[in-house]
Amino acid sequence: MSTDAVTTDGTTGIHPGREATVGANVPPGGGGPRKAKRRDEPEFGSYYDLPVINKPAWESPDIPGYLFLGGLAGAGAAVGLAAQGTGRPGLAKVSKIGAAVAGHLSLVALVHDLGRRGRFLNMLRMFKVTSPMSVGSWLLSGFVPAATVSALSAVTGAAPALGTLASAGAAVLGPPVATYTAALISNTAVPAWHDGYEYMPFIFVSSAASAAAGLGLLGAPVSESTPMAFLGAVAGLSEVALSKVHEESIGIVKEAFHEGKAGRYMKAAEALTAGGAVLAAAGGLTRRRSLRAAAGAMLLAGSAFTRFGIFEAGISSAQDPKYTVVPQRERLEKKARKGT
């Protein structure tokens, strides 16, 4: 019976419609739920298997390219200054050119991926520590001019003092440039990017270092590229090792790195990087030009594949609800267990 009454004085017992309860107003006894057989449907673990989070709007090759180029540029600039400082003009030149070109290209990739390219300057509208892309934009806005001046001076020999200053600037900004992209992709809700965020910066710097080493091995005279062989060997091996550890830390999201495009890329990355690292080590010891060149090419390609692989793993992990739901469920259960 309703609580409501229309008395001669007016209405009483009114409740707003939003307080309606379904199925609560059936007096007991009789009736029962529908008795027809129903097709066995799996319990819902998701909404029609649709992803929970939206697919990143970022495109390949723009964004993975940007990640790769940023790493190359950042590490390259640091290598450039070190090479200059240790009397390796050839390596310095290659690295500085590499840093400048990669820096430019990474900007181009970033701008190219913008939905409104004409508004790229808005990147400097704010400075937001919560946004690695904002931080990165500021970094790049300092880094790219510095790397450019540094490279121009190295190529033309003009304004050596300014060149050195610029090289120093680029070298200081270089490691941050190489690293912020790790924070950038980790700082998302994409399981494959976020869930192993502790490892991501280290994977990224390894990858950056192996790319820069690769460039040096490929482009610098053999006489100057020995540090790159060391760097390449160590960075390459750590990149491969870190990727493994990373994958083991992220539960089922690991699958995203092993399936589809991402799986193929990651496999290629592993092979190339590991191979490149071994060759680099060998090249470092033997000083064989061809070996170093091959090692360099493989490291560069390996680094690129790593970025593309991580990128694709992110995309596919965003498109399957299980990567979002299962880890969160586990987390909740853990919390609940702790609670009781």
Partner 1 sequence: MSLLDMRFDNGQEAAAGSGYADAPPRMGFFTDTSVCIGCKACEVACKEWNQIPEDGLEFTGMSYDNTKGLGADSWRHVAFIEQPKSLAGQITGGVGMAASSGSVASVPTAPEVTAEGIRWLMSSDVCKHCTEAACLDVCPTGALFRTEFSTVVVQEDICNGCGYCVPACPYGVIDQRHGDGRAWKCTLCYDRLGVGQEPACAKACPTDSIQFGPLDELRQRADQRLAQMHSVGVGEARLYGRDPDDGVGGDGAFFLLLDEPEVYGLPPDPVVTTRDLPKMWKLAGVAMSVLGGSIAAAFLGAGRPGGAA
Partner 2 sequence: MIRDLIEHWPVLRQVRERDAFGRGIAAKSKQSDNLEPRTANADKVVKSICPYCGVGCGQNIYVKDDQIVQIEGDPDSPVSRGRLCPKGAATLELSTGPTRRYHVLYRPPHATDWERLPLDRAMEMVADRVIRTRREKWQQTFKDKEVRRTMGIASLGGATLDNEENYLIKKLLTALGVVQIENQARLCHSATVAGLGPSFGRGGATTAMQDLQHSDCIVIEGSSFAEAHPVGFQWVMEAKARGATVIHVDPRFSRTSALADVHVPIRAGTDIVFLGGIIRYAIEHDKWFRDYVVNYTNAPQIIRDEYRDTEDLNGIFSGFHEKASAYENEAWLPEGMSQTTDPEDGGEKDDPEYEERLQAVKDAGTAETHGSGGAGMHGSPNTDPTLQHPLCVFQLLRKHYARYTPEYVEQICGIPRDLFQKVCEVVTSSSGRDRTTSFVYAVGWTQHTDGSQFIRAASILQLLLGNIGRPGGGIQALRGHASIQGSTDIPTLFNLLPGYLPMPHAYEHATLDDYIEGEKSGKGFWGDMRAYMVSLLKAYWGPAATPENDFCYDYLPKITGSHSTYDTVLNQMAGECKGYFLMGENPAVGSANAKMQRLGMANLDWLVVRDFSLIESATWWKDGPEIDSGELKTGDIATEVFFFPAASHTEKNGSFTNTNRMLQWHYESKEPDGEARSDLWFMYHLGRIIKEKLAGSTDPIDRPVLDLTWDYPTEGAIEEPNAESVLAEINGWDSEGSPLASYEQLNEDGSTACGCWIYCGVYADGVNQAARRKPAKEQNWLGGEWGWAWPANRRLLYNRASADPDGKPWSPRKALVWWDEEKALWVGHDIPDFTASKGPHYRPPAGATRGEALSGIDPFVMQADGKGWLFAPAGLVDGPLPTHYEPQESPTANPMYKQQRSPVRQIFRHEHNRYHPSGSEPGAEVYPHVVTTFRLTEHFTAGGMSRWVSRLSELQPEMFCEVSPELADECGLEHRGWATIITARNCIEARVLVTGRMTPLLIDGRVVHQIALPFHWGPNGYTQGDSANDLTSIVLDPNVHIQEVKALTAAIRPGRRPTGPARVELVRDYQRRAGVTAETGTEVLSV
String of contacts with partner 1 for each residue 65-94, x by CB under 8 A: ---------xx--xx--xx-xxxx------
Query: Does residue number 37 form part of the binding site for partner 1 (CB under 8 A)?
Result: yes
Q: What angle do CA 78, 314, 184 make, to 5 degrees?
A: 40
Number of residues that bind partner 2 (CB under 8 A): 42
Total residues at interface with partner 1 (CB under 8 A): 111
Question: Which of 21, 340 has the CB closer to partner 2?
Answer: 21
Q: Which is nearer to partner 1, 183 or 268 (CB)?
A: 183
Alpha-carbon span 49 to 316, nearest angstrom: 13
Name the segment binding partner 2 (CB under 8 A); options: 34-42, 95-103, 221-229, 313-321.
34-42
Residue number, 19 or 338, with CB nearest to partner 2: 19
Q: Does 339 bind partner 1 (CB under 8 A)?
A: no
Q: From the CB of 8, what's the least distance to partner 1, in Å? A: 30
The answer to the question of residue 130 lying near partner 2 (CB under 8 A) is yes
Of 3, 24, 337, 339, the one binding partner 1 by CB under 8 A: 24
Alpha-carbon gap, residue 47 to 157, rounded angstroms? 63
Q: Which partner from the list partner 2, partner 1, none does 297 bind, CB cut-off 5 to 8 Å by kind?
A: none
The answer to whether the CB of 286 falls within 8 A of the CB of 200 is no
Cα 87 to the chain's mean position, in Å? 34
Indicate the Cα dihedral angle 266, 267, 273, 274, nearest 10°. 140
Which residues touch 245 (CB under 8 Å, ≥6 apart)?
199
Cα-to-chain-centroid distance, residue 131 = 14
Q: Bridge partners of 7?
A: 10
Residue from the set 165, 168, 234, 271 that interacts with partner 1 by CB under 8 A: 234
| Residue placing its CB nearer to partner 2 in the complex, 38 or 338 | 38
Cα–Cα distance measured from residue 98 to residue 92, given in angstroms and rounded to the nearest whole number: 10
Which member of 55, 117, 128, 331 binds partner 2 (CB under 8 A)?
128
If one asks whether residue 50 binds partner 2 (CB under 8 A), the answer comes out as no
- Alpha-carbon span 251 to 237, nearest angstrom: 23
What is the smallest separation between the CB atom of 267 and partner 1, expressed in angstroms?
24
Stretch that binds partner 2, among 25-33, 92-100, 210-218, 276-284 (CB under 8 A): 25-33
CB atoms within 10 A of CB 286: 13
Contact 318, 51 (CB under 8 A): yes
